[in-house]
C-alpha cells in the first residue's frame, strides 16, 4: 500500500508544479496585441449596434416639400374673347332645299295681297325700319296657331313702334277663317290673304308655316320652313343682331 500511495503523491506534486509554471508565465507581446485588436473591434461593433444612424426626417421633408418659405397660390385662368352674336345659319336637307325658291341673301319677291279689312297692299309697304318678320301660315297646321301667338307676344307687342314689323300671310284660307284664327291666337299684327297661294308659290312649296326675317333693305337674312322651339330661339337671336342688341 505504501508504494502505491507514494506514486500518487509524486504524480500530484508534478501536476501542481506544471500548473504553477503555466500561470506564472507572462503573456507574449503577440498575444497582448491580438487581444487588444479583438477588444477594439468588438467595441466598434457594439457602438454600431447601440447607436444606429437615423436620417434627419424633418430636413428631408423641408427639402422635398419646400416648407421653409411658403409660396402664394396662383391660379392661372385662360381668358377667351367673347364672341359676338351672329345671325344663325340656315341648314336644309336636300329635299327641304328643293321646296325653297328663295334663300338667305335673296330679296323677298314683290307681293301684293288683300287685307282682312279690305283693299290691296304691298308687303314692302309694311316693312319695319330695322327688320320685318313674315309668317306664311295655314290654319290646318297646329304649328300655325303657336306661331301667331308667339309672334304677337314676343315680337309685335314688344318691339318699338316701326322698328320691327310682323306680317302674316294666310295661304288658301277664306278671309273669315283668317280673322277667326288670328283672334283666337291674339294676333293683332296685319294679316294678308293669299287665297290662291300665288304669293306663297314665289317663295316655296308644301311646308307651312314658314318664317322669314328681312333686313332693312328687304333681303332675307334668316328663315325656317317650320315652327318650333329652335325657331323661336333663332328668330330672337336674329332680331337682336339686326337691332344691334347683341
pLDDT tens-digit series, residues 172-224? 999 999 999 999 999 999 999 999 999 999 999 999 999 999 999 999 999 99
Q: Which CATH superfamily is domain 104-243 in?
A: Glutaredoxin (3.40.30.10)
CA angle, 236 then 222 then 178, to 5°: 75
β 191-194/164-171 pair status:
parallel
Indicate yes or no: pTM above 0.75. no
Top-confidence residue, 56 or 160: 160
pLDDT tens-digit series, residues 221-235? 999 999 999 999 999
The answer to whether 46 and 38 are in contact (CB under 8 A) is no
Exposed, middle or buried, 154 (CB in 10 Å: 0-12/13-18/19+)?
middle
pLDDT tens-digit series, residues 86-113? 999 999 999 999 999 999 999 999 999 9
Top-confidence residue, 218 or 51: 218
pLDDT at residue 19, as a whole number: 59
Q: What is the C-alpha end-to-end distance of the chain, expressed in Å?
A: 143
Domain boundaries, the chain: 104-243
Three-state secondary structure call for residue 212: strand
Amino acid at each position: 500500500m505504501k508504494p502505491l500511495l507514494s506514486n500518487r503523491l509524486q504524480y500530484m506534486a508534478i501536476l501542481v508544479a506544471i500548473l504553477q509554471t503555466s500561470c506564472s508565465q507572462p503573456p507574449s507581446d503577440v498575444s497582448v496585441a491580438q487581444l487588444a485588436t479583438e477588444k477594439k473591434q468588438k467595441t466598434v461593433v457594439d457602438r454600431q449596434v447601440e447607436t444606429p444612424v437615423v436620417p434627419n426626417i424633418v430636413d428631408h421633408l423641408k427639402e422635398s416639400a419646400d416648407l421653409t418659405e411658403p409660396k402664394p397660390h396662383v391660379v392661372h385662368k385662360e381668358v377667351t374673347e367673347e364672341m359676338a352674336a351672329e345671325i344663325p345659319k340656315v341648314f336644309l336637307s336636300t329635299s327641304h332645299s328643293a321646296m325653297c325658291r328663295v334663300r338667305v341673301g335673296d330679296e323677298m319677291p314683290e307681293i301684293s295681297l288683300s287685307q282682312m279689312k279690305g283693299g290691296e297692299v304691298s308687303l314692302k309697304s309694311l316693312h319695319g325700319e330695322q327688320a320685318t318678320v313674315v309668317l306664311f301660315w295655314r290654319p290646318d297646321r297646329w304649328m300655325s296657331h303657336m306661331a301667331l301667338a308667339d309672334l304677337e307676344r314676343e315680337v309685335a307687342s314688344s318691339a318699338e313702334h316701326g322698328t320691327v314689323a310682323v306680317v302674316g300671310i294666310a295661304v288658301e284660307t277664306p278671309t273669315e277663317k283668317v280673322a277667326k284664327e288670328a283672334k283666337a291666337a291674339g294676333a293683332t299684327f296685319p294679316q294678308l290673304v293669299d287665297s290662291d297661294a300665288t304669293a306663297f308659290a314665289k317663295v316655296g312649296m308644301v311646308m307651312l308655316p314658314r318664317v322669314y326675317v328681312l333686313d332693312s333693305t328687304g333681303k332675307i337674312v334668316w328663315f325656317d320652313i317650320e315652327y318650333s322651339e329652335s325657331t323661336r330661339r333663332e328668330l330672337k337671336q336674329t332680331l337682336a343682331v339686326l337691332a344691334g342688341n347683341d
